[in-house]
Structure 1
Amino acid sequence: MLLVLLCLPTAFAQAQDDLLKIAEASDSATTGPVTGTFKTTRLVNGHTVETNSAGVLLFLISHRFGTLNSGAYELFGLDQATIRLGLEYGLTNRLDIGIGRSSLEKTFDGFLKYKLLQQQMGTGSPVTVTLFSSAAVRSLKWPQEENNFDFRHRLAYTQQVLIARKFTDRFSLQLSPTLVHHNLVPTRRDENKVYALGGGGRFKITKRTSFNAEYFYLLSGEARQDYRNGLSLGFDIETGGHVFQLIFTNAEGMVEKFFVSRNTGYWSDGDIYFGFNISRVFDLKGEKKW
């Protein structure tokens, strides 16, 4: 009996240690940053809250064919093409820089993207917040009768606050309050500043595929009279080496000044552009990723 009594404190202490380890493991499983809200830096046309890790370079090829209502003579849009090539680089785990060139209006664009908040499991931020700022330059030559414009007239700017939450491993949502400023507008009644509210989401179908949707609602009155809200649907397919996105959208351009504030396509009229994004990531500090 004396021996048992002497051993009880040691056994009790060991049991306490085991329980503490179990509790710590349980806490670690329910705390920490939430990752993989979206598969890549694009939802469909627009940016997601995701940024590249430090030292990671992303090469993005975006391609849109013509509209489906162009008819059999144009092979339902496949004879036409608009393309954008882009590079994005992670300066830090939170800060991205990117450049691109589109065939539409021969547009060059550049952007900065900063992840301000990261969603946390348990206590902490319930959402991820990323700030986005870009500038686009039209390099297409002016028509002969309009060659008196200055360089500043070629510029357009976009500011966004991207707010997203990953609700489950399969389901994520994002809101994107957006301001697009055009230095040059077609008429005096057109607005230089166009406000829009973007929204979208991702639903993971399988381990390597997901369905994405994106919508930009124009808040500016004049813009709503002449231009259409952007609606885009897509599927993400991870092939191991690339992320391949199949896209249906009523917007031809792949820069914010086109698909947010200067979109003219009607889904109901068949102004639907089929296209794709292909992204490839290179870790310049190590090996290639997916």
Structure 2
Amino acid sequence: MTNKILVIFLIFYFLFLSTSAQDNLLDQLREEDKTEWNTHTTTFKAIRLINGHTVETREKGNLEFLISHRFGRINSGAYQFFGMDQANMRLGLDYAWQDWLTLGIGRNSFSKLYDGFAKISLFQQNEGKIKQPVTLVWLSGASINTIRRPEIPMNLNRRLQYVHQLLAASKLYQNIALQLMPTYIHRNLVREPSAPNAFFAVGAGLSYRLSKSVYLNVEYYHRFLDQENGTANPIAIGVDIETGGHVFQLQLTNAQQMTETGFIPSTSGDFFNGDIHFGFNITRNFQLGNTRPIKK
């Protein structure tokens, strides 16, 4: 485990060095380039695609309040009002300490879980003399479940889970954005003795603009491990509706949890068998520092 952590930090260190070197080169090219240097507009409309993060970060001083709900399974029937009688909620706060650094915390009703993350922007898609075709963002997070488990002794170490992701996205034309999410998950406690504590997964997401303020989103994660009993790869379909300072996200997904350490390893429903949860995210942004003109 120590060696794996060391490798992750070395990768991040060299990425940071390469970023600094490229920034110096790009600064020189901007001075020499007679044409306008254009930074791409936002790739996605929200910090979250559906369940997982997008490459989006906010400008320094921006505070985003996020409310997420996931109801029970639609196929639970009329007695459970098709899942509406059962709900899990996450409240989150994301704050941009710098343009390139966002820190977030959240509290989930599912497993009474607390989570936190750091999101670091490495490269930004842009156009000019040298084009940068993708946006790259590094995400590291941890979560701790505080639910009582009287059947087994639960110390702090057993309650912790970790996630590391490299988010790579590109906006194609004005209507389509694609994203890949190579992911490393580590769980200190697993449900079955044969289950691995750590594994890799890769996610893929797509956002398609239907109109000026409406976007269709699709998200899928594939896990590179033997399927644990009763688990499945998370799938989600959603719609973003932008209204001023709010973004409403409506989704259908087989995942009930709302953090990467939860929905990637522990999704239990079969999407194509009707084990679908209706859910929504609502975001509200507050600019606490000096503002700059918003890119259109």
Normalising by structure 1, what TM-score? 0.86
1:175 aligned residue: 180
Match of 1:261 among 262, 265, 283: 265
Which SS does the other structure have where 2:272 is aligned?
coil
Match of 2:210 among 194, 199, 205: 205
Q: CA–CA distance in 2 between the matches of 1:35 and 1:262?
A: 35
The answer as to 2:66 corresponding to 1:60 is yes
Q: CA–CA distance in 1 between the matches of 2:171 and 2:245?
A: 24
Which SS does the other structure have where 1:74 is aligned?
helix
Match of 2:250 among 246, 250, 259: 246
Q: CA–CA distance in 2 between the matches of 1:263 and 1:57?
A: 30
Match of 2:278 among 274, 277, 280: 274
**CA shift for structure 1 position 140:** 0.5
Residue identity (%):
44
Alignment of 1:69-88 (within 5 A): 69-88=75-94
**CA shift for structure 1 position 240:** 1.4
Q: CA–CA distance in 1 between the matches of 2:134 and 2:271?
A: 32
Match of 1:151 among 156, 176, 183: 156
- Deviation by residue 1:234-264 (Cα, 9 ceiling, x = unmatched): 0000111310000100000001122111111
In the TM superposition, structure 1's runs of 4+ consecutive aligned residues that sit over 2 Å from their partners are none
1:103 aligned residue: 109
CA RMSD of aligned residues (A): 1.7
Q: CA–CA distance in 1 between the matches of 2:289 and 2:227?
A: 48
Normalising by structure 2, what TM-score? 0.84
Whether the 8 Å CA contact 2:72–2:84 is kept in 1: the answer is yes
Whether the 8 Å CA contact 2:90–2:108 is kept in 1: the answer is yes
Q: CA–CA distance in 2 between the matches of 1:271 and 1:106?
A: 23
Q: Report the CA distance shift for 1:125/1:241 in structure 2 as closer, same or farther (over 3 A).
A: closer
2:51 aligned residue: 45
Whether the 8 Å CA contact 2:111–2:147 is kept in 1: the answer is yes
Structure 1: gaps (5+ residues): 1-22
1:7 aligned residue: none
- Deviation by residue 1:19-77 (Cα, 9 ceiling, x = unmatched): xxxx95xx32xx32212100111000000001111000000000011110110001101
Whether the 8 Å CA contact 1:189–1:222 is kept in 2: the answer is no
Count of paired positions: 260
1:235 aligned residue: 239
